[in-house]
Structure 1
């Protein structure tokens, strides 16, 4: 169950930070029960993700500079507004091994996505070269329906009673629909690698749970634009209370902060370090599907304190099927596996 609940993620290239307001890591990828070990075997998770964001200032200007190919030698004054939306479906097959690795449970998987992304940019641009200046006002939009990049992931998880620990590594294989001159994309145009660790406290007797996962992203250079995003730090967290053995409610949140400058950006953007915070509610329900375990989760985030990136709100609807725990295990871990 938690494989789907906690490791699904979305990367929508029209709506998040770094080059042109786009980053590899989507805050909210991890949540409650992130570090708890799972039942060995195959699992499959499907996620419907919707987001709606907007941006002013540098976050909107960066998109105009990118798609308009404004060179560094040109002085610009931009008064722009960006709106973007995405509706995506993600598939995440994962295999959890029964044989321990370094005393931990190893799981590997890959996420692929399909969907639609759209964006609109409107406002005024003034460009000057020496004494010559030109002003342009208007708007333009773009949309795409296609497939996105691929995102492999491996995790190791350790359990010690109510305490659970994990480490993970993931990354971006840039095979999705992407063009540096297009306002809306479903790929980011460059490779990335991300790693980190997490902790979950879960007490089956009280039904109380808290999880936090932190990590760093290293971005490789976009060969089409010669732009390289800086290093990003992210923290995802979730807290929940089981009201029964099958149903829980709680809160989720995230913090995202770019810690080094971008390279190759227009001088008007400066270091273009991005930041955002988000928080929102979640509910979850566990139920049998034949001899398998079903799981349904709905969570949403409202974003605030954004800098150099679009911000708004997003929702995740997750459905997963995974192996059912043996009866001897279910009596002590039922809130996780039943």
Structure 2
């Protein structure tokens, strides 16, 4: 009955980020809130695993909301965006312990289509405006996202430490509205905790982290330090199926800087919450599959578009050995 629970959802998936009309410069952050969720700190089976995550975000900001873009002092008003994004890549979990924990490394890529519109753009030192809606769409590959994690288990308590970053090789043009890359490097690190009681099928996870952003060389703009918390809670209905709720909180704690930061420190925040459902299954004697669907409704945004987003995750990993009765 409990054989699959301790493996369940490494589909919280190591890392994934993509540019949609989201805070910081252009209202876009490196960390995509909602990335982590249930079972985030639970150790996995050693060996290779592979994850694919589809994300559909839809966000907007009012016509009076301003966001900087490009290196020429452009300011966009009334941003709207949506995307069909796919993150994919392998993770290798080592069998040999590191600092008494389970060590894993991963590398994800991003691809998809991003669509963005603005109501008006202010340009130049005199604030000249171009009225009317302008839209842009782009289908391309995004940045590369390496990550390393350490996980520890002590009964029902599970602990996580991670570090990840952005290698800015994706499609990015500072003058375009829609991009799949963010145009600058970033480093993010944090810790997490999962409570998992296999006797009751109850689980709760929380992960917090900080992002340091490097300057965007195309726009002379440097995002401030971002803080984020992702959480999830679930209840197994049987050996394979669980339901629950997930959420996130995102807050920029230091201001933006650089010659391109024409709107000042531009600190941003957003919150999200929504339902989730997951299903674990055996593919064969050596492989297990993990499927998760979750959605978030956003609220409380500042200097950041808000809306809703849906995640569909599918991962394949080494199957946990059967217990001998």
Fold shared per TM-score above 0.5: yes
| Root-mean-square deviation (Å) | 2.0
8 Å CA contact 1:27–1:236 kept in 2: the answer is yes
Residue of structure 2 equivalent to 1:336: none
DSSP 3-state at the match of 1:101: coil
Structure 2 CA distance, aligned partners of 1:9 and 1:169?
10
1:7, distance to aligned residue in structure 2 (A): 2.4
DSSP 3-state at the match of 1:305: strand
1:20, distance to aligned residue in structure 2 (A): 1.0
Q: What is the CA deviation profile of residues 168-211 of structure 1, one whole-angstrom value per residue up to 9, with x for unaligned ones?
A: 00000000000111110000011000001000000000111000
8 Å CA contact 1:93–1:111 kept in 2: the answer is yes
Instruction: Confirm or deny that 1:109 pairs with 2:111.
Output: no
Identify which of 74, 80, 91 aligns with 1:83: 80
Q: Which runs of 5+ in 2 are unaligned?
A: 1-6
1:137, distance to aligned residue in structure 2 (A): 1.6
Q: What is the CA deviation profile of residues 119-141 of structure 1, one whole-angstrom value per residue up to 9, with x for unaligned ones?
A: 01114749764xxx755421211
Residue of structure 1 equivalent to 2:183: 189
Normalised by the length of structure 1, the TM-score is 0.89
Instruction: Confirm or deny that 1:301 pairs with 2:306.
Output: no
Residue of structure 1 equivalent to 2:135: 141
1:315-326 mapped onto 2 (5 Å cutoff): 315-326=310-321
8 Å CA contact 2:60–2:307 kept in 1: the answer is yes
1:225-236 mapped onto 2 (5 Å cutoff): 225-236=219-230
8 Å CA contact 2:233–2:244 kept in 1: the answer is yes
Identify which of 157, 178, 190 aligns with 2:172: 178
Residue of structure 1 equivalent to 2:307: 312
Kindly tell me: are residues 226 and 50 of structure 1, through their superposed partners in 2, closer, same or farther at Cα, counting changes over 3 Å? Answer: same
Normalised by the length of structure 2, the TM-score is 0.92
Kindly tell me: are residues 293 and 281 of structure 1, through their superposed partners in 2, closer, same or farther at Cα, counting changes over 3 Å? Answer: same
How many residue pairs match? The answer is: 318
8 Å CA contact 1:149–1:174 kept in 2: the answer is yes
Residue of structure 2 equivalent to 1:288: 282
Identify which of 14, 30, 55 aligns with 1:24: 30
Structure 2 CA distance, aligned partners of 1:15 and 1:34?
27
1:12, distance to aligned residue in structure 2 (A): 2.5
Identify which of 54, 61, 71 aligns with 1:55: 61
Structure 2 CA distance, aligned partners of 1:18 and 1:163?
35
DSSP 3-state at the match of 1:20: helix
Which structure has greater helix proportion?
1
Q: Which runs of 5+ in 1 are unaligned?
A: 332-338
